[in-house]
Structure 1
């Protein structure tokens, strides 16, 4: 197993509430976008925000602040060209932003509840796909300047849609109804995999043949998208996820699974073996030993939650976003190279 980035290299501060969304910029992935319950989105350069960054203003590393949301920000996604991003949240509205001007280009309405997730899809990022508390997945046309209604609505879920992902002509969605649905838009088909417990997050492998699913039974599952078989299940005594929506992701070329938790922990597993490799305490910005797994941690509410994690695709780096309003960026330190 290659070295895992375990050293705090930056701390992004300034939000006045839990950070629910975090995303790297495209290309070299130099910048990090954060979205919070304080209704703001912030763009940071983590190289200018050391781990010792104070929480008070002026905020170290802050590049731009984006304000248009009237409710909490729940998801962020940057397009491939790096000039636009999409944000969703409690507004029931999908916001399309211009990075440079910090203004919204489009505001799509049509969902009847908070929008849990928005992602890019289609040729040249021509569409945005969203999943909502109203139980629907909607597809929005980015290129048409006078298109304000969804060009497609998929309403098969029996409960809130919590996450969506796009792979070519396919849209994958998780729901609180315990199902993972894969829509082949081109063929007009829908494949349903039954997980059981409420599903809160999904992450596709690079090949697109597997999907990592988080659920509210304190476990993650790696599912084979062709057969629907559960290839591996990831659990740990230090990992609690029973009440709150937390994001998980695949990292290091799909060799590790990383997930936040209800109680302030970030846990890392080996994809193939399913063994727990690392445990991090987000608020303390430190790794905790295996002895911690012998304890039975209790979820402490929204202040402790680590609701989002994101892995950098260009270097050994990742970040965790917490209920404490801070984002910790983890990278390679001297001790990680051994």
Structure 2
């Protein structure tokens, strides 16, 4: 006697607000989960970074050393270091436990929009308004980059590293004759979790899913508003949904395969500038004005202990 197979479970979406944090950093330019989702990094218009507990939302440490607003940050695989970039044209490598600057890297000719470690945290990659991606060896005491990728010719707005691959998004400089791509200026790029696809958002209010190998268009996702701000997009931890920030104060969720809108999450009245999906669980971070919001699939506050970092 055979029994029917159970229907696949509908993926849970993080639609319950657990808490809102007043970061007291001015405008929050970017918010990021660390590699395992235990910690949260917020980048402020007041030149600081802050490290928060991922489960309780408590402040663990503040990092000060940039000369202007901080635009992006990334945590190393072992949580020992953070790298950050700023409108002051620098990249900083931080010691997480002490809060001290381990390295301040100079070389970009304009503000640095995006930064990320490679998988082993031996290299920091930074993308700038000057049209270059610079690669910095974290183990060396030399301040010169080990490689400069200058083929872009346009401002590098976003970058993602996956093993030995680098994905960049471009926004045309004012003097450029190129208009980014055929889709318009790209504000954010990322890889799918399975590594087969790329996702990009652009200033024509469209998020696009492309086959990484062929460049074939696999899906277009619209309905949100993205006309004048550098907003972010991402995929859920299991590649079931496409997410995007929006200028109308919402985060939009689309079913990746069907392309239909699954959820329009109301965050607030202001532009939602940044988001970050938890690496393994249906949890989401959003940043709007000077606040960070923690969202989960269930309304109750999850219990969990954090590795202690003294503040």
Would you say same fold, with TM above 0.5?
Answer: yes
Counterpart check, 1:109 vs 2:96: no
Task: Pick closer, same or farther for the CA change 1:334–1:119 going to 2, 3 Å.
Answer: closer
Please state whether the residue corresponding to 2:31 is helix, strand or coil: strand
| TM-score normalised per structure 2 | 0.87
Aligned to 2:15: 6
Query: After superposition, what is the alpha-carbon deviation per residue over 1:176-221, rounded to whole angstroms, capped at 9, x for unaligned?
Result: 139xxxxxxxxxxxxxx94430001011012222110010000100
Partners of 1:195 and 1:213 lie apart in 2 by 12
Alignment of 1:50-61 (within 5 A): 61=58
Give runs of ≥4 in structure 1 deviating > 3 Å.
46-49
Q: For residue 232 of structure 2, what is the aligned residue in structure 1?
A: 247
Rounded to whole Å, the distance in 1 between the matches of 2:284 and 2:189 is: 17
The match for 2:274 among 281, 298, 308 is 308
TM-aligned CA deviation for residue 44 of structure 1? 1.3
The corresponding residue for 1:45 is 53
Which of 13, 24, 42 lines up with 1:34 in the alignment? 42
- CA deviations on 1:161-189 (whole Å, 9 max, x unpaired) are 001111222211110139xxxxxxxxxxx
Task: Give distance in 2, aligned partners of 1:25 and 1:334.
Answer: 23
Could you say which residue in structure 2 is the equivalent of 1:333? 298
Unpaired stretches in structure 2, ≥5 consecutive residues: 1-9, 174-179, 301-311
Unaligned 5+ residue runs, structure 1? 50-60, 179-192, 285-303
2:177 corresponds to which residue?
none
Q: Which residue of 1 aligns with 2:158?
A: 163
- After TM superposition, list the pairs within 5 Å mapping 1:1-338 onto structure 2: 1-27=10-36, 29-49=37-57, 61-121=58-118, 124-144=120-140, 146-177=141-172, 194-236=181-223, 239-283=224-268, 304-323=270-289, 325-333=290-298
Contact 2:94/2:102 (<8 A) preserved: yes
Taking a change above 3 Å as real, the CA distance of residues 167 and 31 of structure 1, as seen in their structure-2 partners, is closer
For residue 29 of structure 2, give the secondary structure of its aligned residue in structure 1.
strand
Deviation at 1:24, TM superposition (A): 1.2
Provide the aligned length of Structure 1 versus Structure 2. 285
CA contact (8 A) 1:11 1:46 kept: no
CA contact (8 A) 1:199 1:214 kept: yes
Distance apart, 1:15 and its partner CA: 2.2
Which secondary structure does the structure 2 equivalent of 1:48 belong to? Answer: coil
CA contact (8 A) 2:242 2:255 kept: yes
What RMSD, in angstroms, separates the aligned Cα atoms of the two structures?
A: 1.8
Higher helix proportion, which one? 1
Distance 2:39 2:110 in 1: 30
How far did residue 46 of structure 1 move?
4.5
